[in-house]
Amino acid sequence: MTQDKNKIINIISNNNYDSRKTSQILTKKLEDKGFIIPKKYDKNSVLNICIGGDGAFLRTVHNFNFPKIPFVGINTGHLGFFQEILPENLDIFIDKYIKGEYLVEEISLLEAKVCTKSNCAKLIGINEIVIKGIASKVVHLEVYINDNHLEKFSGDGIIVATPVGSTAYNFSSGGSIVYPTLKTMQITPLSPISSKAYRSLSNSTIVPGDMTIKIKPESLYENSILIINDGVQYTYKDILEIYFTISNMTIFRLVFDENMYWNNLKSKFL
């Protein structure tokens, strides 16, 4: 018997008790409506439902290699900027989904090309990619925008954030909030040193999405750099330069309330 692809929905849950319980309830409700919930991730599905917090959402997107299948999140965590739906509103969500009462939001991703003396490696970030010193050492970084020298940064490190990531680590570090559908990158300093010897920008800088950010560690620090992509750490030997651009890859998210972003900002931060 051939399955209807428009009826296949992936449900991905973390191991939290509330998440697993919500997953069981949601599976039953969707199956009662005629949807097919596969035991394993199905690339032919029409929707990915991620249950958990924002961390679970980020891990899911990375683990399944940034699929074009749209996502929607059910929040059993804390902040939940990616996770729009509350567990008590499952019936409302299913009804709106069946009726097509939602928007599809395209999310731009961040690409970092880490070039060492031997090769270049590519990283794709959803929220942010961070450059720090190993073992919390101070780092000295030359920062360029489209090959124009911006600053010689000295401090704990630099966050390069996407608009959707602007409310995460970036915001906690004093960065600006940027609406998620804008195509920009944001450079946010982490504990910049300001003295007669070192002068670094103390505030975040918004960079248009069609530009390139280049960060070059001083030669003494090319083996002292830690790169953190959406919370996952990477180390490379002999780093020469790191290039940041808006990726050609995107992901998609269903939005059921066009005012949810502003409501989230108020309820989470004020």
Output the pLDDT for position 3: 59
Using CA atoms, how far apart are residues 60 and 51, in angstroms rounded to an integer? 10
Binding residues for NAD(+) are 54-55, 59, 127-128, 137, 156, 164, 167-172
Binding residues are 54-55, 59, 127-128, 137, 156, 164, 167-172
DSSP string, 62-92: HHTTS-SS-EEEEE-SSS-SS--B-GGGHHH
Which residues on neighbouring strands pair with residue 149, listed in sequence order?
Answer: 144
**Crossing angle for the helix pair 17-32 and 90-99, nearest 10 degrees?**
40
CB atoms within 10 A of CB 25: 12
Q: Are 51 and 23 in contact (CB under 8 A)?
A: yes
Using alpha carbons only, what angle is made at residue 230 by residues 226 and 231, rounded to the nearest 5 degrees?
A: 60
Question: Domain extents for the chain?
Answer: 9-101, 109-249
pTM: 0.92
Output the pLDDT for position 1: 43
Catalytic residues: 54
Superfamily of chain region 9-101: Probable inorganic polyphosphate/atp-NAD kinase; domain 1 (3.40.50.10330)
Using CA atoms, how far apart are residues 59 and 232, in angstroms rounded to an integer? 10
Q: Are 223 and 237 in contact (CB under 8 A)?
A: yes
Q: Are 239 and 116 in contact (CB under 8 A)?
A: yes
Q: Are 157 and 131 in contact (CB under 8 A)?
A: yes
Output the pLDDT for position 222: 63
Q: Quick check: helix, strand or coil at residue 147?
A: coil
pLDDT in tens, the chain (270 residues): 455 768 999 999 999 999 999 999 999 999 999 999 999 999 999 999 999 998 999 999 999 999 999 999 999 977 667 888 999 999 999 999 999 999 999 999 999 999 999 999 999 999 999 999 988 889 999 999 999 999 999 999 999 999 999 999 999 999 999 999 999 999 999 999 887 777 888 899 999 999 999 999 987 766 789 999 999 999 999 999 999 999 999 999 999 988 888 888 888 787
Output the pLDDT for position 145: 97
DSSP string, 168-225: THHHHTTPPP--TTS-EEEEEEEEE--SSS-----S-EEEETTS-EEEEE-GGGTTSE
Q: Quick check: helix, strand or coil at residue 244?
A: strand
Output the pLDDT for position 50: 96
- 174: which 2 tokens? 């004093």
Using CA atoms, how far apart are residues 142 and 28, in angstroms rounded to an integer? 55
For the chain, how far is it from start to end, CA to CA, in angstroms? 53
Fold of 109-249: Tumour Suppressor Smad4 (2.60.200)
